[in-house]
Amino acid sequence: MNAVLATIPSPDRGVWHLGPVPIRAYALCIILGIIVAISWGERRWVARGGQKGDVTDIAVFAVPFGLVGGRLYHVITDNQKYFGPGKNPLDAFAIWNGGLGIWGAIALGGVGAWIACRRKGIPLPAMADALAPGIVVAQAIGRLGNYFNQELYGGDTTLPWGLEIYQRVDPATGLPDMLGGVAVDSTPIAVVHPTFLYELLWNLGVAALVVWADRKFRLGHGRAFALYVAGYCAGRFWIELMRTDEATLIAGVRVNVFVSALVLIGAVAYFVLAARKGEREDVAALQATPEAPAEAGAESSDDTEDATKTEDTAEDTPEDTDEAEEADEKAEAESRPQEPAKPE
């Protein structure tokens, strides 16, 4: 009885309606996470010598790319939820129902960030280092959305922090609707491991680790970002093994377990190898302003015109000199006294 009283209750719903408009807790958590990542990343970027507003400009590319990448990864690795008998392929576009794979979000989001960084003349590794702790905190906030959706949990448990799962139904029809419905009975149908909470706390710990290591060792050249990736993957590996929700399996093991291990190895390797590049790069010195090429082009054009004028002047000078000499000789001849004519 005491264990039941100490368990964590789930929200009775994850969707509210403002008239005909659904307000989804999952979407709000994603938006809040993005705001935190951008605002914190901006402060860290400026502190490292970058220009204010750069992170926001990068986010214009990185965020939509990341959302698309996260959804693509989820749909590909959990394709059985959207394709096959009795499935609706159009549900693959219903991102508001949840389902974003962090691996795809980071990969394609990185492509968007790379495009934006090239346009602004910013070194991508330096920008990634500035964003790293904010990204993992955004992931932690996003896990709260899974809490409201009653998803991504583990097996049954009697631990005092077990998560209560309620049966939700559509109020209009009374039919089961675990995602968009409402729990009309607070009696739990299961008490499970809150793996979303485990990952949330782990992510906050990774953020603290990255900030500490970055300050102590002045990480640069993408090493702070690699530390974040390695730390996250280490936690995701064991948390993924605890989850019981439906997932694609390889040899009886969840696919994200393999992905976590492979990405972890890659992140650790990069962290070690990038140390050879030395101390943190000077962002202020490396960053190029986008106006510089245009200004340089204008200056070059002006120089070219000046050079052309100089060459024209240089070409005209010999002619002017000859004419002046002829004029001087003529004047001298006219001023010379005439000799008298000799008698014949």
- Give yes or no for a contact between 105 and 66, defined as CB atoms under 8 angstroms apart: yes
Please report, for residues 59, 123, 130, 291, the alpha-carbon distance to residue 56 in angstroms, rounded to integers and kept in the order given: 5, 15, 13, 18
| pLDDT for position 322 | 55
- The DSSP code for 10 is P
Residue 287 in this model has a pLDDT that exceeds 90: no
The number of beta carbons lying within 10 Å of the beta carbon of residue 157 is: 18
118 annotated as a binding-site residue: no
Please report, for residues 52, 125, 194, 256, 275, the alpha-carbon distance to residue 118 in angstroms, rounded to integers and kept in the order given: 17, 12, 41, 31, 24
Give how many domains the chain has, as a whole number: 1
Q: Which residue has the higher pLDDT, 274 or 342?
A: 274
The number of beta carbons lying within 10 Å of the beta carbon of residue 52 is: 10
Say if 152 falls within a structural domain. Answer: yes
Residue 342 in this model has a pLDDT that exceeds 70: no
Say if 337 falls within a structural domain. Answer: no
Alpha carbons 285 and 79: distance in angstroms, whole number: 47
Say if 314 falls within a structural domain. Answer: no
**pLDDT tens-place string over residues 152-201:** 999 999 999 999 999 999 988 999 999 899 999 999 999 999 999 999 99
Range of the domain at 193: 2-289
Say if 61 falls within a structural domain. Answer: yes
Under the banding of pLDDT at 50, 70 and 90, the label for residue 276 is: very high
- Give yes or no for a contact between 254 and 247, defined as CB atoms under 8 angstroms apart: yes
Average the pLDDT over each of 87-101, 141-155, 319-333 and give the range with the smallest value: 319-333
Average pLDDT over residues 289-302: 45
Say if 305 falls within a structural domain. Answer: no
| pLDDT for position 314 | 46
Say if 302 falls within a structural domain. Answer: no
| pLDDT for position 323 | 56
Alpha carbons 246 and 149: distance in angstroms, whole number: 15
| pLDDT for position 321 | 52
SS3 169: strand
Alpha carbons 246 and 159: distance in angstroms, whole number: 23
Say if 311 falls within a structural domain. Answer: no
Give the pTM: 0.81
| pLDDT for position 66 | 97
Average pLDDT over residues 257-263: 98
| pLDDT for position 326 | 61
Say if 324 falls within a structural domain. Answer: no
Residue 312 in this model has a pLDDT that exceeds 60: no
| Mean pLDDT of the residues in the chain | 87
